[in-house]
Structure 1
Amino acid sequence: MKLTENQRLKILRQHLNMTQSQFGMIVNLKQGSYADVERGKVNVSGDIKNALFKEFSINVNWLETGDGNMFLEDAVREKIKIDGIPMFNFPGSASNVEMYGDPTDVKIIGYLNIPGATKSSFALPVHGNSMYPTLENGSWCVLRPIEDRQDIQWGEIYYIEYGDYRVFKRLLASDNEDSVILWSDNQSETIGSRPKYAPKTIKTERIKKLCLLTDILKKPNY
Structure 2
Amino acid sequence: MPIEEESKRFKQIREELNLTQAAFAEQLGISMTTADIERGRTRIPGQVVKELLKQYQINPLWLFGESGQKYLRIGETAMSPKVVTVDNTGKENIVLVSAKAAAGYPNNIGDAQWFESLPAFSIPLPEYRNATFRGFQVDGDSMLPALQSDEWIVGKAVDDWDNLRSKSMYVIVTADSILVKKIQKDNQTTYINLISLNPEYGPIRIDRSEIRELWQVNSKLTFDLEAGFQNVSLHNLHQEMKELKEEVRRVIG
TM-score, scaled relative to structure 1? 0.51
Q: Which has the higher helix share?
A: 2
Q: Distance in 2 between matches of 1:157 and 1:213?
A: 5
State whether structure 2 residue 127 is matched by structure 1 residue 124.
no
Q: Distance in 1 between matches of 2:161 and 2:209?
A: 11
Displacement after TM superposition at 1:221 (Å): 4.4
Letter in 2 for 1:170: K
Partner of 2:104: 101
Partner of 1:210: 214
Does the CA contact (< 8 Å) of 2:97 and 2:135 recur in 1? no
Does the CA contact (< 8 Å) of 1:135 and 1:218 recur in 2? no
Does the CA contact (< 8 Å) of 1:136 and 1:219 recur in 2? no
Partner of 1:134: 146
Letter in 2 for 1:149: W
Deviations 1:112-143 (A, max 9, x none): 52621134112111111100111111111111
Using a 3 Å threshold, how does the CA distance of structure 1 residues 79 and 127 change in structure 2: closer, same or farther?
farther
Using a 3 Å threshold, how does the CA distance of structure 1 residues 154 and 221 change in structure 2: closer, same or farther?
closer
Does the CA contact (< 8 Å) of 1:184 and 1:199 recur in 2? yes
Using a 3 Å threshold, how does the CA distance of structure 1 residues 204 and 218 change in structure 2: closer, same or farther?
same
Q: CA RMSD in A?
A: 3.2
Letter in 2 for 1:133: P
Displacement after TM superposition at 1:79 (Å): 5.6
Partner of 1:12: none
Deviations 1:85-115 (A, max 9, x none): 423234399xxxxx63373344332425262
Letter in 2 for 1:108: L
Letter in 2 for 1:111: F
Partner of 1:65: none
Query: Rg larger in 1 or in 2?
Result: 1
Q: Distance in 2 between matches of 1:137 and 1:112?
A: 23
Using a 3 Å threshold, how does the CA distance of structure 1 residues 114 and 220 change in structure 2: closer, same or farther?
farther
The alignment-based identity, stated in percent, is: 17
Does the CA contact (< 8 Å) of 2:170 and 2:181 recur in 1? yes
Using a 3 Å threshold, how does the CA distance of structure 1 residues 181 and 77 change in structure 2: closer, same or farther?
farther
Tell me the SS of whatever aligns to 1:136. Answer: coil
Tell me which moved more, 211-220 or 173-182.
Answer: 173-182
**Residue ranges of structure 1 left out of the alignment (5+ in a row):** 1-71, 94-98, 188-194
State whether structure 2 residue 147 is matched by structure 1 residue 143.
no
Partner of 1:86: 94
Q: Distance in 2 between matches of 1:130 and 1:143?
A: 18
Tell me the SS of whatever aligns to 1:205. Answer: helix
Runs of 4+ in 1 over 6 A off after TM superposition: none
Letter in 2 for 1:215: S
Partner of 1:220: 224
Displacement after TM superposition at 1:205 (Å): 1.4
Q: Distance in 2 between matches of 1:91 and 1:221?
A: 20
**Residue ranges of structure 2 left out of the alignment (5+ in a row):** 1-83, 109-113, 227-253
Deviations 1:51-97 (A, max 9, x none): xxxxxxxxxxxxxxxxxxxxx99x769565xxx8423234399xxxx
TM-score, scaled relative to structure 2? 0.46
Letter in 1 for 2:149: N
Using a 3 Å threshold, how does the CA distance of structure 1 residues 178 and 92 change in structure 2: closer, same or farther?
farther
Q: Distance in 1 between matches of 2:196 and 2:164?
A: 17
